[in-house]
Chains A and B, each alone.
Chain A
Amino acid sequence: MNENYKVSSSPHIRDKIKSSNIMLLVVIALLPATIFGIWNFRHENAWILVVVTTAAAVLSEYIYEKLMHKPVTVNDFSAVVTGLLLALNLPPTLPWWMGVVGAVFAIVVVKQLFGGLGQNFMNPALAARCFLLICFTGQMTYFVYDGVTGPTPLADLKAGEAVNTMNMLIGNIRGTIGETSVIAIMIGAMFLILMGVIDLRIPGSYLISFVVFIVIFGGHGLDPQYITAHLCGGGLMLGAWFMATDYVTSPITSGGKILYGICMGLLTGLFRLFGGSAEGVSYAIIISNLLVPLIEKITLPKPFGKGGEK
């Protein structure tokens, strides 16, 4: 009889999906980009960096939680996702120990010091990438493809040179391990959308607002090749589909998701067109991460009965 009158606070409808399922799906979705990256940079031995960085992320989470006498949460795969995403954001020639430094920074400083999974205020993988970018600027902006050093297509684009959009789509270009192939990233993104893991609102509003910004301020108007090159170049696709959609650091309100996407799109465009470096996706996303509490505050839906006519 008592069970009929069970009183509890929201949420009242619970799903069977757990964090570990979602994280596992994200890992699976990252596999095409990872495998392509490892194959693409086989001459630079990219696989070592990927394996070492991911392992370092998992290990540092395990060791930190053991040392702090906390429940060990390695089984939820979130550290794997962080480590893998970080590795995909690193140039293939980076010394492996820098990957380890980044992974430890991501897990210990950005994630665990703020309370572990669900408490971090910005995306750990991107924060670690920015940390490494400031620490080791030389190595982090040193790009090689097939033994040839040179600027990324995005840097060429910024310098006003012609780029091969087809190669940028397939991915046989210079760049970080996971960002080069738009096709491989899109396969993973489609998988996540079909499985209902990510919401189209964030990447959608991100990419649309970015294109609008590029059209208005890019100086090439509606030139489809210029826009495609900007969309396929750099970490935009990887960032928009895999890192901007991180559950912890993105808003939960639907209006907020769109606002968050627009914020990232504008910042990315601003950094790419007017900033000092050719790429700006990671800074745009972590700055927007910081704005998420404010975005959620202004887009909070009114509870039934509140508000209305005064």
Chain B
Amino acid sequence: MNKCTERIFNGLVKENPTFVLMLGMCPTLAVTTSAINGIGMGLSTTAVLVMSNMLISMLRKIIPDSVRMPAFIVVVASFVTIVDFLLEGFVPSLYDSLGLYIPLIVVNCIILGRAESYASKNPVIPSIFDGIGMGLGFTVGLTSIGIVRELIGAGQIFGFQVMPDSYEPFTIFVLAPGAFFVLACLVALQNKVKRNLAKKGKEVPAQAGCGAGCASCASKNICGGHLIQPENTENKKEQEGA
């Protein structure tokens, strides 16, 4: 099961979809107005991601290479429709606040990216864990953005008032510009942390931005494109999938 934990670690830290791969930016910026929305969106995406990774991995020998994209989309869209109806039926309040972004999970780059770069080339079990890792990474990213935005923009976390009553909320942080400010600050922060780890000589999960693909990486000659990533071809495909 070592491979599986490696996949989860990869999704959460090394190739975190929000902070390192920069995939799925549309829901990241749009729905993270509060922490609960971030968690809701993240978990819905995780559910779709796990199921679609599993099914695509099962079907990977059947799907012809030339029509793999439409096939993936059909699989993903079916699961998104299921999640859409489930949310509408059981958590209508969350469904209302996420709105259009639930159907838009179909075109989320992470899901298609993982299907293309991982699930279509790997066995079922690792693919499932890849989906869990990526989904959790996305959830963590969205929730942390949501917490910061809700805290500054409304003085609350998960709907509970944490700031004193005299606190004047910075309304801009729950509006669209705030999403960009918070995302930029959090990405800068995690790059800083990773760089500090590198300076201390600890093993670094990945160089800042390295997960985005070796093709655009300035130091690919040093690492040869395969030292950090066991399956280096996946990164190149990733960008096409995005």
Contact residues of A with B, CB < 8 Å? Answer: 95, 98, 101, 109, 131, 134-137, 139
Could you write out 17 A-B pairs with CB less than 8 Å apart?
A: A95-B168, A98-B168, A101-B170, A109-B181, A131-B172, A134-B171, A134-B172, A134-B175, A134-B177, A135-B170, A135-B171, A135-B172, A136-B168, A136-B170, A136-B171, A137-B171, A139-B168
Among residues of A, the one whose C-beta sits closest to the C-beta of B181 is A109
Contact residues of B with A, CB < 8 Å? Answer: 168, 170-172, 175, 177, 181
* Closest 10 pairs between A and B when the two form their complex, measured CB to CB: A134-B172, A135-B172, A135-B170, A135-B171, A131-B172, A134-B171, A134-B175, A136-B168, A137-B171, A136-B171
Interface of B is mostly: helix
Question: Closest CB-CB distance, B168 to chain A, in whole Å?
Answer: 7
Cα-based distance from A177 to B175 in the complex (angstroms): 27
Chain B residues, CB < 8 A from A101 = 170
Cα-based distance from A104 to B172 in the complex (angstroms): 15
Interface of A is mostly: helix
Cα-based distance from A131 to B181 in the complex (angstroms): 12
Cα-based distance from A133 to B177 in the complex (angstroms): 13
Among A109, A134, A135, A136, max chain B CB count under 10 A is at A135
Among residues of B, the one whose C-beta sits closest to the C-beta of A132 is B172
Chain B residues, CB < 8 A from A134 = 171-172, 175, 177
Cα-based distance from A180 to B181 in the complex (angstroms): 33
Chain A residues, CB < 8 A from B172 = 131, 134-135
Question: Closest CB-CB distance, A201 to chain B, in whole Å?
Answer: 32
Question: Closest CB-CB distance, B238 to chain A, in whole Å?
Answer: 29
Among residues of B, the one whose C-beta sits closest to the C-beta of A134 is B172
Chain B residues, CB < 8 A from A135 = 170-172
Chain B residues, CB < 8 A from A98 = 168
Cα-based distance from A136 to B167 in the complex (angstroms): 12
Cα-based distance from A109 to B182 in the complex (angstroms): 12
Chain A residues, CB < 8 A from B170 = 101, 135-136
Cα-based distance from A134 to B177 in the complex (angstroms): 10
Chain B residues, CB < 8 A from A137 = 171
Cα-based distance from A109 to B188 in the complex (angstroms): 14
Chain A residues, CB < 8 A from B171 = 134-137
Among residues of B, the one whose C-beta sits closest to the C-beta of A98 is B168
Cα-based distance from A98 to B171 in the complex (angstroms): 13
Cα-based distance from A135 to B175 in the complex (angstroms): 9
Question: Closest CB-CB distance, B119 to chain A, in whole Å?
Answer: 39
Among residues of B, the one whose C-beta sits closest to the C-beta of A97 is B168
Known: A95-B168, A134-B175, A136-B171. 6 other contacts (CB 8 A): A101-B170, A109-B181, A135-B171, A135-B172, A136-B170, A139-B168
Question: Closest CB-CB distance, A68 to chain B, in whole Å?
Answer: 13
Question: Closest CB-CB distance, A103 to chain B, in whole Å?
Answer: 15
Cα-based distance from A134 to B175 in the complex (angstroms): 9
Chain B residues, CB < 8 A from A139 = 168
Chain A residues, CB < 8 A from B177 = 134
Among residues of B, the one whose C-beta sits closest to the C-beta of A133 is B172
Cα-based distance from A136 to B171 in the complex (angstroms): 7
Question: Closest CB-CB distance, B206 to chain A, in whole Å?
Answer: 25
Cα-based distance from A155 to B58 in the complex (angstroms): 65
Question: Closest CB-CB distance, A142 to chain B, in whole Å?
Answer: 13
Among B172, B175, B181, max chain A CB count under 10 A is at B172
Among residues of A, the one whose C-beta sits closest to the C-beta of B169 is A135
Cα-based distance from A134 to B170 in the complex (angstroms): 8
Among residues of A, the one whose C-beta sits closest to the C-beta of B152 is A135
